[in-house]
């Protein structure tokens, strides 16, 4: 019969949608539950009656001295049988649990034995590896150390050989460029005395102490040659001069020099006598980004008239030119110091003898030993002496470098 609320059939598998269908679905479960409770109650009463009867039978037997009726005996025996069956069932369950526990313990014991066997094998392998690693370890260590020392010596030899070749190549390039520029030393008689005169490109290099009496064209030419030569030598020696020299370039065919504080800056520069449209950056490596800082002012290394006339007509340009020449002499002095040629020790006037300093640095005859070659031999001798004084068990690699030895000192002076 269908539900009068949702029209759901009695055996339908649809979801429950109303209280009536839900209540009807729960009635069978309630009936089963009530039946189980009734059976439990009946069994309980039966057990209670059996216990009471047995107790009564025992009491009457003791008091009257006669056995009970047959019915009581049957109930008592049935109760005993049920109790025995219950004890047997409980014993069977406990026995099964004990056997399961025994099986589990045996499995754990077996796994433990296997684990112990595996660990023993692992320890044995480790002991064998340790014995193999420590077998003749001193001899093997000495052999490996000797191999490393031999490799260090070979590397040191190759390094020193490469360094010597590099230094010799730089010496060759510097001497060749000096020869190409025809840097020469000549003697002439002045006031009855023989004095040394230095020329470059066939033009005399004026002593800075005698600039006032020199021809301005010769001064400009010699300073241009010296600037070219100095830039090439510093490039071959991988050095950066304290005062940056700008060689002639497009729209400005004359050399200039910057002060050390204004050198190698990324700023636009207006060169002396050039219009702003012809200006260029302060160095070939500087970027052309705009900067609000004041642009550096290069010092000219040229004059277009004699120095006395220039000093009278344009004192500012005259001062800038003298400063530029002094910076050029300082560059040459600094380059000499980096290569081990110490000039200006007795007097500062020796610093301004730029022709003599260049000749001593680049073109000195074997009797005078050129400064660059002398630096190479001194470094090799120091490296050999240093390596001979060291213990053979502690080999070292002398790091001979051709970088300037007095770069920081020269810049700070």
For residue 48, the model assigns a pLDDT of 81
Residue 301 and residue 143: Cα distance in Å, rounded?
65
86 sits in which H/E element = helix 70-134
DSSP 263: T
Residue 9 and residue 1: Cα distance in Å, rounded?
6
Per-residue pLDDT, averaged over 258-275, amounts to 75
- pLDDT tens profile 29-73: 889 999 999 999 988 888 787 777 656 655 555 455 545 556 656
Instruction: Return the bridge partners of 189, or none.
Output: 194
CA distances, 178 to each of 71, 98, 181, 225 (Å)? 146, 108, 5, 10
Instruction: Evaluate if residue 367 carries a pLDDT over 60.
Output: no
Task: List the alpha helices (DSSP H) in 300-394.
Answer: 307-313, 315-338, 354-362, 371-389
Residue 413 and residue 410: Cα distance in Å, rounded?
5
Residue 188 and residue 289: Cα distance in Å, rounded?
52
Tokens of 212: 């006032």
CA distances, 221 to each of 81, 183, 266, 325 (Å)? 140, 13, 29, 13
| Nearest Cα residue to 51 out of 92, 16, 83 | 83
DSSP 390: S
Residue 129 and residue 125: Cα distance in Å, rounded?
6
- pLDDT tens profile 290-312: 455 667 788 999 999 889 999 99
Per-residue pLDDT, averaged over 387-400, amounts to 40
Q: What are phi and psi of 58, to 5 degrees?
A: -65, -40
Per-residue pLDDT, averaged over 313-321, amounts to 92
Instruction: Evaluate if residue 8 carries a pLDDT over 80.
Output: no
* DSSP 3-state of 240: coil
Tokens of 116: 């112990």
Per-residue pLDDT, averaged over 218-227, amounts to 93
Cα atoms in the 13 Å half-sphere on the side-chain side of 247: 10
200 sits in which H/E element = strand 193-200
Instruction: Return the bridge partners of 252, or none.
Output: 249
| Nearest Cα residue to 198 out of 366, 10, 361, 410 | 361
């Amino acid at each position: 019969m269908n539900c009068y609320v949702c029209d759901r059939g009695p055996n339908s598998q649809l979801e429950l949608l109303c209280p009536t269908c839900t209540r009807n679905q729960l009635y069978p479960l309630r009936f089963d539950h009530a039946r189980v409770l009734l059976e439990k109650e009946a069994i309980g009463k039966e057990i209670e009656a059996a216990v009471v009867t047995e107790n009564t039978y025992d009491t009457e037997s003791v008091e009257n001295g006669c056995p009970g009726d047959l019915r009581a005996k049957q109930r008592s025996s049935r109760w005993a049988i049920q109790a025995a069956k219950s004890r047997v069932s409980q014993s069977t369950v406990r026995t099964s649990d004990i056997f399961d526990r025994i099986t589990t313990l045996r499995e754990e014991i077996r796994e433990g034995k296997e684990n112990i066997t595996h660990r023993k094998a692992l320890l044995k392998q480790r002991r064998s590896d340790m014995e193999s690693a420590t077998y003749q370890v001193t001899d093997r260590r000495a052999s490996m150390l000797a191999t490393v020392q031999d490799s260090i010596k070979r590397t040191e030899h190759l390094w020193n050989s490469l360094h010597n070749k590099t230094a010799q190549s730089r010496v060759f390039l510097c001497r060749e460029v000096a020869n190409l520029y025809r840097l020469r030393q000549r003697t002439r008689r002045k006031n009855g005395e023989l004095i040394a005169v230095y020329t470059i490109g066939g033009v005399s290099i004026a002593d800075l102490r005698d600039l006032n009496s020199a021809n301005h064209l010769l001064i400009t030419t010699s300073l241009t040659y010296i600037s070219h030569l100095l830039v090439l030598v510093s490039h071959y020696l991988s050095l950066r001069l304290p005062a940056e020299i700008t060689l002639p370039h497009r729209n400005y065919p004359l050399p200039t020099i910057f002060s050390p504080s204004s050198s190698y800056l990324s700023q636009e520069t207006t060169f002396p006598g050039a219009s702003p449209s012809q200006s260029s950056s302060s160095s070939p490596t500087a970027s052309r980004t705009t900067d609000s800082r004041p642009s550096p002012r290069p010092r000219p290394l040229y004059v277009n008239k004699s120095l006395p006339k220039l000093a009278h007509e344009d004192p500012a340009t005259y001062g800038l030119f003298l400063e530029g020449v002094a910076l050029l002499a300082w560059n040459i002095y600094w380059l000499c110091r980096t290569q081990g040629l110490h000039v200006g020790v007795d007097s500062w006037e020796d610093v301004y003898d730029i022709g003599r300093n260049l000749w001593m640095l680049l073109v000195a005859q074997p009797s005078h030993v050129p400064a660059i070659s002398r630096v190479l031999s001194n470094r090799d001798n120091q490296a050999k002496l240093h390596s001979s004084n060291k213990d053979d068990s502690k080999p070292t690699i002398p790091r001979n470098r051709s970088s300037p030895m007095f770069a920081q000192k020269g810049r700070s002076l």
